A and B are shown apart, each in its own frame.
Chain A
Amino acid sequence: MRRLRTLAAAFGMLLASLAPALAVAPDEVLKDPVLEARARDLSAHLRCMVCQNQSIDDSDAPLAKDLRILVRERLVAGDSDEEVVDYLVSRYGEFVLLKPRFAWHTAILWFAPLVALLGGLAGLFLAIRKRSTRSGDAVREVPLTEEEEARLIELLDKGKS
């Protein structure tokens, strides 16, 4: 009978560990609202490493909870935001940052959208210039062939709306 009870207790504990916790649990919240706001802001930029693309602020995973508590401990100890982030990166690597740091290995990542936009703009500008130098000739329009003329009339009749 006792063995059964231990088993039940073990099972209960297993269930409890599986049960989803809240992202930020009430007991984690710091008393100081300014520190807490900083903690929340930092948490939103830190990745829960065992989840798929979730920040520790959103995640229910036990690891995320540990990290949230760690962040708050560091803040209470008087670390600046940068110091907290540096500490976490030194422990877990850059993988922990949801916003990758700007460096050589992330240059393509950060510049690609800008390059696409500027490149596109430059391309457009060139195309327009090419067009406008050419459009002098384009004024002399090539007359339609008889066949095209007939087709045009047919289309115009059909397409009237």
Chain B
Amino acid sequence: MIVELGHFALVLALVLSLVQSVLPVTGALKGDARLMAVAPPVSVMLFLLVGLSFVALTVSYVTSDFSVLNVVENSHSTKPLIYKISGVWGNHEGSVLLWVLILVFFGALVGTFGSNIPAPLRSATLSVQSWITAGFLLFILATSNPFTRLARPPIEGNDLNPILQDIGLAIHPPLLYVGYVGFSITFSFAVAALLLGRIDAAWARWVRPWTLLAWVFLTLGISMGSYWAYYELGWGGWWFWDPVENASLMPWLAGTALLHSALVMEKREALKVWTILLAIFTFSLSLLGTFLVRSGVLTSVHAFATDPARGIFILVLLCLFIGGSLTLYAWRAPMLKQGGLFAPISREGSLVLNNLFLTAATVAVFVGTLYPLALDIVTGEKISVGAPFFNLTFGPILVPLLIAIPFGPVLAWKRGDLLAASQRLYAAFGISLLACLFCFWLWGMQRVLAPLGVGLAVWVMIGASAEILGRIRVREVGAARAFSRLTGLPGSTWGTAIAHFGVGVTLLGIVTASAFQTEQIRTMKPKDLVSLAGFELTFEGAVPRKGPNYTEEVAHFTVRQGGVEIARLDPSKRVYTARQMPTTEAAILTLGVSQLYLSLGESRGDGAVDVRVYYKPLITLIWIGCVIMAFGGLVSIADRRLRVGAPKPARKSKAVAAAQPAE
């Protein structure tokens, strides 16, 4: 019954979304307040209906209702509860439903909390959001219905793919989707603004918090996915340049560019036309990612043909939304008035440069991901594009961007002084130079790139604080005043500094982990010893063990440092009973921010087993840096100034006003 209820709610949501697609936008164009008033309640209703349908599917997973085809294909009665729940989005149908749920969730957020946005813009935005909603609801109902019943239900289900039965993968997709789909609201805002023909600084101010929110979640989602791949796939790589990863990286790069250009638009009314285009591109890349992952076109061009209905449906949606919005853009954008002027050397100029490099990086990922596909379709020739290609193209594009990061925030708006800005970065430059030289001294001259990389990372990290130090001017005003200035700095300043610091942290992790990873590959018998990076690992023997829905062979290892036992590691090899699918569970020992990574290979009889041990120095910084970036984004969202109409703080901070460059 609940299953039919969920199905019905979905159909009802489709009807409502069609209503929402037409009425509010008509009202906005004609200035009819009654039509516009439809938007907020309907946006909430849409969320409730899709939410109900999602709950219905979750209930059938939790109760293992094997009369539902989707549950049979992806669940098993012995599966732990959390994986029964995460199984809801661990498959095609469920994940598209989650996609739509987040789509309407953002609509409902704007409907509920967007009362400070002028009614026409808000109504048109919600209508555009509903166009997307209607398209994807139709997609679910027509090609990917999760509520299909079976006339003869089996006793047991097929279980979820074992590598997806993991806590990381339980939370990775929702995080990623909030980010991915969150950009839809920015897209809707952009299209609505084009429809209404009005775009001003206020528009950027309304849009930026939503963009930031999506960006924060996408950042977390991507790093979560990367960490999952690292510990679950069993060989310790953390980024594969896999098309599926690239599909999430592209909206992230474009979204990062969007955040920065929206800043220029908000502060200086410049870059309007470009910001709108970027908003359209960012969500288009999200849609493209969805198409790539969901149509199966990635595994091979032929997988696409095995279920053409889905692929073609999304392709049509993709063309409609991207083509439609770009056409609208081409028609309307020339009518937009250009905003403030600025000199090439200025805060705006630096943000334009940021956008240029991020866009070029996006292009590199884009062609790298899609070119093999295009070539195969056009000429039938098959080529592969993997990590070596991206390292050669993506890397060099990012290096100048990283070098430029600390300059941006210390340049003044409108017309900056590069010399004055550089003076504020002397300290950062000195420290990073010292770090660089220290690394050369430590590691010798054989590895040139690693010390330079460390220097660059330190430069980005220390440089991130330059704006804050410059604003409080400790030496001139004394510690007490400086502290009050420090607390009075706006959230967005802190957010920028924290996020940029995070970039440096991630970079440091990448450089050290890739340059100084050491490994040992051995066949070990019980009581054998292997030493690596100052650690001694003793293989104590392997024992079989039984889990809820798998059996495993667990190997016990003792880790000693200087003869003293510091930890025990238990990597294992599992076989999941239902699918008879084997997985490796690596054992990881975190020491500070470095990790010892141990994974098992083949068993060789008489208790011997193949073992691979890695020492990965500072590797966790890669993900810690991402979390810091996301935190910076959150701090920036919390900035009061972003919430137009929010009550102003009673105590005005004169210090900030004084320290702020003239605007």
Contacts and interface: CB of A to CB of B under 8 A. Distances in A.
B240 A53 contact: yes
Given A20-B582, A124-B352, A109 B387 contact: no
Given A19-B573, A52-B299, A98 B648 contact: no
Contact of A21 (B241, B352, B388, B601): B601
B384 A100 contact: yes
A120 B364 CA distance: 14
A77 interface: no
Interface string A120-157: 11001000100100010010000000000000000000
A99 B356 contact: no
A18 B582 CA distance: 7
B152 interface: no
Nearest to B338: A131
B417 interface: no
B357 interface: yes
B595 interface: no
Contact of A99 (B242, B386, B583): B386
Interface of A: 15-16, 18-27, 29, 44-45, 47, 52-55, 58, 60, 93-100, 105-106, 108-110, 112-113, 116-117, 120-121, 124, 128, 131, 135, 138, 160-161
Given A95-B384, A99-B388, 11 more contacts: A15-B580, A47-B386, A95-B383, A98-B387, A98-B389, A99-B385, A99-B392, A109-B371, A113-B394, A124-B352, A138-B341
Given A19-B602, A121-B356, A161 B575 contact: no
Contacts of A106: 371, 375, 383
Nearest to A57: B235
A93 B381 CA distance: 9
B232 to A, nearest CB: 12
A55 B387 contact: yes
Instruction: State the main secondary structure of chain B at its contact with A.
Output: mixed
Contacts of A52: 242-243, 298-299
Contacts of B603: 19
A45 B299 CA distance: 20
Contacts of A100: 383-385, 389
B357 A117 contact: yes
B363 A116 contact: yes
Given A58-B237, A97-B383, A160-B648, A20 B583 contact: yes
Given A45-B388, A100-B383, A109-B371, A27 B341 contact: no
A20 B234 contact: yes
Interface in B238-276: 240-243
Contact of B360 (A97, A113, A124): A113
9 contacts: A22-B521, A22-B610, A22-B612, A97-B383, A98-B384, A100-B383, A105-B379, A113-B367, A113-B397
Give the contact-size bracket for chain B. Answer: 35 or more
B133 interface: no
B640 interface: yes
Contacts of B382: 93-95
A99 B602 contact: no
Contacts of B648: 160-161
B599 to A, nearest CB: 7
A116 B254 CA distance: 14
Interface string B384-410: 111111001110010000000000000
B377 to A, nearest CB: 13
Contacts of B610: 21-22, 25-26
B522 interface: yes
B161 interface: no
A29 B611 CA distance: 13
B332 interface: no
Contact of B344 (A60, A128, A135): A128
A104 to B, nearest CB: 11
Contacts of A97: 383-384
A94 B298 CA distance: 18
B433 to A, nearest CB: 27
A29 B523 CA distance: 11
B475 interface: no
A44 B341 CA distance: 49
Contact of B640 (A16, A45, A131, A161): A161
A34 B344 CA distance: 51
Nearest to A14: B580
A98 B465 CA distance: 40
B360 A120 contact: yes
B383 A29 contact: no
B284 interface: no
A52 B296 CA distance: 12
Interface string B617-648: 00000000000000000000000110000001
Contacts of A27: 523
Nearest to B387: A98
A44 B387 contact: yes
A102 B521 CA distance: 35
B312 interface: no
B580 A98 contact: no
Q: Which 8 A-B pairs have the closest CB atoms?
A: A98-B386, A22-B601, A99-B388, A113-B364, A116-B363, A117-B360, A112-B367, A95-B382
Contact of A20 (B242, B521, B584, B652): B584
Nearest to B581: A18
A16 to B, nearest CB: 8
B359 interface: yes
A116 B253 CA distance: 15
A109 B368 contact: yes
Given A18-B581, A19-B573, A24 B386 contact: no
A110 B393 CA distance: 8
A154 B183 CA distance: 32
